[in-house]
C-alpha cells in the first residue's frame, strides 16, 4: 500500500541476512501465546457515594504493585468515541507515506510522524509500525482537521482525567503530596498503526520496551498482539472493547522507590491485518524532579530531562533504552 512506510526497501539488508539465518533456524522468533486475565477495575466503584470506593482504591494499588498493568471499565470514554477515533485513525494513516512525511502535515511539527527504528542494527530492534506523537498543546493546532482533532481532543481530555485520578490514588499510598502531578506534568498522545507484516515471525510490531511515563492509558483495537512480560513469560493482553489498559511507567516506578512496577511490553506483528492503538502518556515536565522518599533509596534523584537525554543516548548507541538501571542510587 502506498500508505506504508518503506520497511521492505529500508530494511532489505537486515531482512535478507535474516532469511539466510532462518534456514539455520537461528533467528526465528518463537512467539508464546499464552494469555492472562489482567486485573479489571470498575471505575464506577470510585464514585464518592459507592460503599466499595475504598476497596476499589486498594485494588488499584495492588494491581500497580503486582502487575504494573490493569484494565479499566466505566472509564468515561464512550464506545462511540472509541469507534469514531479508530475510523479517523484509519483515514489519516491511509494517506500516502509521502504526504505523512511532509513538513506541516496536519499542521504538526515534522518530528510528530515516526516509523520503524532508524538506528536498528538487527531485526529485533525494528518496529514494524508508524506513529504520530502529538503533545497536548499541539492537538489544538490541527484546526483544519476538525473531525480528527475533536476525537483526539475528547480522548485525551478524558484520559487525562483518568490519569490524574489514578495518579492521586497511587500517590496517596506513597505520601506524595496531593497536586504533585498537576504541578509536574506534561502529556502527549501517540497514535499507532501496525501495518500487516510479511515477516511477522521475525519482526515485532513494537519492540519490547517500558514506557518512560508516570503512567500510560492505552486503547487497542480488537486485533490483539499486545503482550506483557509476566514472571519471565510473554503473555497476551486480550482485547476488551469496553476497557482501556493502564500501565505504570518508569517514572512512577522510580517515584515509588520500586513499589509500583513499570513492566516491559511489546506488540507482536500480524501478517494479514493492520492494527491500531492510541496511547495517552501522562508524563513529567522536563524540569520535574523525580525523587522518592523510600528507605533505603533505590534510585537517585534526577530530572525527567536527564532521564530522556540518557535514554535517547542509549537508544542511539545500543538500540536499547536501558532505562532506570542507569539511575540506581
Ligand X SMILES: O=C(O)CCC(=O)C(=O)O
Query: Of the ranges 66-74, 155-163, 218-226, 255-263, which one interacts with ligand X (CB under 6 A)?
Result: 218-226
- Residue located via cell numbers 475533536: 150
Q: How far is the CB of 240 from ligand X (least distance, A)?
A: 13
Peptide bond before 296: cis, by omega within 30 degrees of 0?
Answer: yes
User: Angle at the Cα of 67 (from 64 to 68), degrees rounded to 5?
Assistant: 50
206 near ligand X, judged by CB under 6 A: yes
Looking at the Cβ atoms of 46 and 211, the one nearer to Fe ion is 211
Q: Look up 300 and say whether it is catalytic.
A: no
Inter-residue contact 267 to 194 (CB < 8 Å): yes
> What is the CA 246 to chain-centroid distance, rounded?
9
Residues 275-314 binding ligand X (CB under 6 A) are 277, 279
Least separation in angstroms between residue 211's CB and ligand X is 5
Output the nine-digit C-alpha cell for 287: 524540569
* Piece in contact with Fe ion (CB under 5 A), picked from 46-54, 163-171, 208-216, 223-231: 208-216
Query: Is there binding between residue 250 and Fe ion (CB under 5 A)?
Result: no
Rounded to whole angstroms, the Cα distance separating 44 from 29 reads 41
CA gap 328, 292 in Å, rounded: 12
- How many amino acids of this chain bind Fe ion (CB under 5 A)? 1
Q: Report the candidate in 247, 251, 246 with the shortest Cα–Cα distance to residue 292.
A: 251
- The site string for ligand X over 22-61 (x = CB under 6 A, - otherwise) reads ----------------------------------------
Three cell numbers written together for 238:
486480550
Q: Which is nearer to Fe ion, 46 or 218 (CB)?
A: 218
Binding of Fe ion by 211 (CB under 5 A): yes
Least distance in angstroms from the C-beta of 194 to Fe ion: 13
Half-sphere exposure (Cβ direction) of 154: Cα atoms closer than 13 Å: 18
Give yes or no for residue 265 binding ligand X (CB under 6 A): yes
Options 65, 275, 305, 326, the catalytic residue: 275
Check binding of 211 to ligand X (CB under 6 A).
Answer: yes
For 108, the grid coordinates are: 504538526
Q: Should residue 192 be labelled a site residue for ligand X when binding is judged by CB under 6 A?
A: yes
For the purposes of burial, counting CB atoms within 10 Å of the CB of 280, is it exposed (0-12), middle (13-18) or buried (19 or more)? buried
Residue numbers of the site for ligand X (CB under 6 A)?
Answer: 190, 192, 206, 211, 218, 220, 226, 265, 267, 277, 279
**What positions carry a catalytic annotation?**
275
Amino acid at each position: 500500500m502506498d500508505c506504508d512506510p518503506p520497511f521492505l526497501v529500508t530494511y532489505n539488508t537486515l531482512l535478507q541476512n535474516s532469511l539466510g539465518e532462518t534456514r539455520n533456524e537461528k533467528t526465528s522468533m518463537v512467539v508464546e501465546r499464552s494469555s492472562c486475565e489482567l486485573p479489571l477495575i470498575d471505575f464506577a466503584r470510585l464514585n464518592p457515594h459507592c460503599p466499595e470506593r475504598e476497596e476499589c482504591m486498594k485494588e488499584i494499588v495492588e494491581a500497580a504493585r503486582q502487575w504494573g498493568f490493569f484494565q479499566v471499565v466505566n472509564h468515561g470514554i464512550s464506545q462511540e468515541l472509541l469507534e469514531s477515533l479508530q475510523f479517523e485513525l484509519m483515514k489519516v494513516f491511509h494517506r500516502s507515506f509521502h504526504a505523512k512525511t511532509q513538513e506541516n502535515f496536519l499542521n504538526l511539527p515534522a518530528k510528530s510522524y515516526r516509523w520503524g527504528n532508524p538506528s536498528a542494527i538487527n531485526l529485533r530492534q525494528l518496529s514494524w509500525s508508524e506513529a504520530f506523537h502529538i503533545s497536548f498543546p499541539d492537538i489544538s493546532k490541527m484546526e483544519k482537521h476538525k473531525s480528527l482533532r475533536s476525537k483526539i481532543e475528547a480522548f485525551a481530555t478524558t484520559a487525562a482525567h483518568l490519569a490524574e485520578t489514578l495518579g492521586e490514588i497511587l500517590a496517596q499510598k506513597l505520601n506524595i503530596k496531593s497536586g504533585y502531578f498537576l504541578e509536574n506534568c506534561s502529556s502527549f498522545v501517540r497514535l499507532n498503526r501496525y501495518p500487516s507484516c510479511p515477516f511477522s515471525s521475525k519482526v515485532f510490531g513494537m519492540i519490547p520496551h517500558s514506557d518512560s511515563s508516570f503512567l500510560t492509558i492505552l486503547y487497542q483495537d480488537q486485533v490483539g498482539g499486545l503482550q506483557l512480560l509476566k514472571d519471565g513469560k510473554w503473555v497476551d493482553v486480550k482485547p476488551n472493547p469496553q476497557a482501556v489498559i493502564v500501565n505504570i511507567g518508569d517514572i512512577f516506578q522510580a517515584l515509588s522507590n520500586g513499589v509500583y512496577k513499570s513492566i516491559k511490553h511489546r506488540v507482536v506483528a500480524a501478517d494479514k491485518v493492520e492494527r491500531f492503538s492510541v496511547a495517552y502518556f501522562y508524563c513529567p515536565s522536563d524540569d520535574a524532579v523525580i525523587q522518592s522518599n523510600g528507605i533505603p533509596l533505590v534510585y537517585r534523584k534526577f530530572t525527567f530531562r536527564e532521564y530522556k537525554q540518557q535514554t535517547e543516548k542509549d537508544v542511539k548507541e545500543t538500540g536499547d533504552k536501558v532505562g532506570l538501571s542507569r539511575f540506581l542510587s
